[in-house]
Amino acid sequence: MNDSREMADPTDGLPTRLLVVDSHTIGEPTRIVIDPTWLAACDLGQGSIAMRRRVFRERFDALRRAIVADPRGTEAMVGVVVLPSSEPSCDMAAIYFNEVGYLDMCGHATIGLAVTLGHLGRIVAGTFRLETPAGIVTVTWHGGNDASFENVTPRRIARGLAIECADGRRVTGDISTAGLWFFLTSDHGESLLAKEIPRLTARAWSIRRALMSRGISGDAGQAIDHIVLLGKPESPKNNGRAFVLCPDGAFDRSPCGTATSALVASLYADGLLAAEKVWRQESILGGVYEASVRCEEGMVVPSVRGSAWITAESTLFFNNSDPYRAGLPHLK
């Protein structure tokens, strides 16, 4: 038999087909690679998931885009490759990516991963430990569509930082990391309404460009590539609302799990949220994450809970004659 899932084209690392499961976490899409043949053959070597991600980038970067970009993927989609962990205390490890690169951690995709593994019967309800490039994350599948994760400890490296955008508008915000890097601001002066998404996107881009042009980065030079516009919730049941611009230029359809982790840690540090108290964060589309913090050995541990739904179990095809087998060019 000719198994067309073998590594088909050594020049670009694309297989001819690949099994995936798709889900969305209150609107934000995730695609998990579950193809046993590809996973067994990909051979990313030994070592931490950060080291194996380096090998993935060298050998399979074209596949990253082919999986999540148009025409097979969709805007805002995050892909996940799940591998055995090199950490004895972990059950598995994850490489996260989007159309423009790699993510050290991704909250919505972690919730999507737990629901997908539950759907496939690969886990039972309960907790598993996940090695991510950002650190170890404890994930709980609560059964059905419901999952949560305890994230790495967030760090805020700048508070009340004022920047001026190209149009002369000033904005003040914090720079924090919780696996990804964020600029979080409440004084943007915008209405956080879904109908304003094009305007919010433009505003967040101008903030991102201002950060870049001033050389403002994470403490090891990381790009501040997620811009979070915070505001009041639409529903009185909730505590806050966020518009989040992602590195690929798409807005996060969910409230952004890592951004929410960073937010609740800052609220706790500022005395605005008690330990173990639930903060309900709305997305720009109205979907909600429940978040809280607890303290363990002097460290703040944020936790985020949300729901994901399976949308497809599919085989992706990468035909040699397809001019877009590696995805459409990124046009943003």
The site for ligand PYC (CB under 6 A) is made up of 28, 78, 106-108, 180, 246, 252, 254, 256-258
3-state SS of 185-197 is: ECCCCCCCCHHHH
Supply the minimum distance, in Å, between the C-beta of residue 2 and ligand PYC: 38
How many Cα atoms are found within 13 Å in the side-chain-facing hemisphere of 280? 10
**Interior angle at CA 207, CA 332 and CA 152, nearest 5:** 90
What is the residue type of 141?
A: W
| One-letter amino acid of 145 | N
DSSP string, 237-259: T-SEEEEEE-TTSPBPSS--HHH
* Shortest distance, position 325 Cβ to ligand PYC, whole Å: 25
Residue with tokens 């403490």: 219
By C-beta, is 251 or 318 nearer to ligand PYC?
Answer: 251
Active site residues: 106, 256
Identify which of residues 52 and 108 has a Cβ nearer to ligand PYC in the complex. 108
Residue 312 beta carbon to ligand PYC: minimum distance, rounded to whole angstroms: 19
Pairing of strands 279-282, 240-245: parallel
State which residue, 16 or 303, has the beta carbon closest to ligand PYC: 303
Closest CB to ligand PYC among residues 200, 256: 256
